[in-house]
Amino acid sequence: MSSTKDHSAAHARGARPRYWMRRFFALGAAVVVVAGVVVLANIGHGKLRPVVKHPPPSTTSSSVPSTEPPAGPPYAVGIVSVNIVVNGKTLPTNIRYPTLGPPGSADVTGSTPDRAAAPYPLVVFSQGFDISPEAYASILQAWAAAGYIVADPTYPHTDPNAPGGPNRAYLVNHPADLNGVISQILSYANTPGTLEGVINTSEVAVAGHSDGGDVSLAVVANSLYTSAASNIKAAIIFSGAEYAPFGGAYFPPGAHSVPMLVTQGTSDNINPPSCSVQIYNSAPPPKYYLYLYGAGHHSPYLYPTPYERTVTAVSIDFLNHVLKHDAPALSAMELAGNVQGVASITSASSVPQVAGACPGAPPG
């Protein structure tokens, strides 16, 4: 994980540099070869059973097969912007929520929440280094439209608009920042205002991409930070890693664990597959690993690709299964996570090791 981990040109979702798209469409040769490729056969006792079904796509392919888009959202999405003060620092934060009105493609600022099915579970998303949180707006809006409160704090010093430019040295402060943000947002459930009575304080998830995935992982799996986040019930790690500078120990014996979804592009050369394999194989069940064949570090999360559609659908099913206790969502996650030539998903106890160490991670 280098200091150039996320390219600054991805600051805004609308800015899609051509060379990033060329990297996406030229599916690289760094594909994780799994024996026949793991996919899923059926479901039993809350697990997805891996079987050998089809090989990964050719590394010489010039395109990625298309996938069906996720089902239409049940809710329109409202948005409010707040400044959350944590440890003397101000973190501007957008909070999306289900709102009244017909579902649409635009967030409605300050609109009235749909309270019919409230309270809704909370998901707090952490951005990658030098990427604006709103670069992930498509996924964040999809989660809110599926019936979640979704917050995306802007971390000081690692955001692209940080005074003097982003500085990755400040990443070590962000797990504590994240815990503080969660506590503040949960307090809104009992505070007069737009979100009063709307947040389910017992059902909380963290999610993050790249360095934000490192931060999210730390608050659910690192011994220095988990005690402050005992209300977190699920974690989604998009191409993240264990991060040695955080200190502490990951997945210490006897520690409380949460269900986890780990996603990884097989051609990611920023956080390579070894990083996600280390996380997944160390985590206790229930856990799910989503292979994204030929995907790099950014395309599954920042751009409208088949990868992003798959990640969006799988993550919603995961959240529905864990936070809404929706048993059929596990079957939906199996279907959404197995796309010929694009992705496969497993809940096996481990996935095959990948050559090479994870940069910046503690020895695995």
Residue of 72, 117, 73, 80 lying closest to 97 (CA atoms): 80
User: 10 Å Cβ neighbour count for 315?
Assistant: 26
Q: Are 294 and 58 in contact (CB under 8 A)?
A: no
**CATH 3.40.50.1820 applies to domain 16-346:** yes
Q: What is the largest CA-CA distance in the chain?
A: 57
In angstroms, the CA 311 to CA 37 distance is 18
Q: What is the pLDDT of residue 229?
A: 60
Domain boundaries, the chain: 16-346
Assign residue 254 a region (left: φ > 0; alpha: ψ between -120 and 50; beta: otherwise).
Answer: left
Mean pLDDT value of segment 45-58:
37
Residue-wise pLDDT tens digits, 235-265 = 999 999 999 999 999 999 888 889 999 999 9
User: 10 Å Cβ neighbour count for 120?
Assistant: 25
CA distances to 174, 176, 216, 217, 218 from 225, in Å: 10, 7, 10, 10, 6
Q: What is the pLDDT of residue 226?
A: 87
In angstroms, the CA 318 to CA 1 distance is 27
In angstroms, the CA 214 to CA 262 distance is 12
Proportion of the chain above pLDDT 70, given as a percent: 79
In angstroms, the CA 226 to CA 246 distance is 12
In angstroms, the CA 265 to CA 272 distance is 8
Pseudo-torsion of CA 32, 277, 21, 308, nearest 10°?
110
Long-range pairs, 65-69, Cβ under 8 A, ≥24 = 65/306, 65/339, 65/340, 65/341, 65/342, 66/306, 67/306, 67/309, 67/310, 67/339, 67/342, 68/309, 69/309
The amino acid at 186:
L
Average pLDDT of the chain, as a whole number: 83
State pTM to two decimals.
0.82
Mean pLDDT value of segment 42-69:
37
Residue-wise pLDDT tens digits, 199-237 = 999 999 999 999 999 999 999 999 999 876 678 999 999
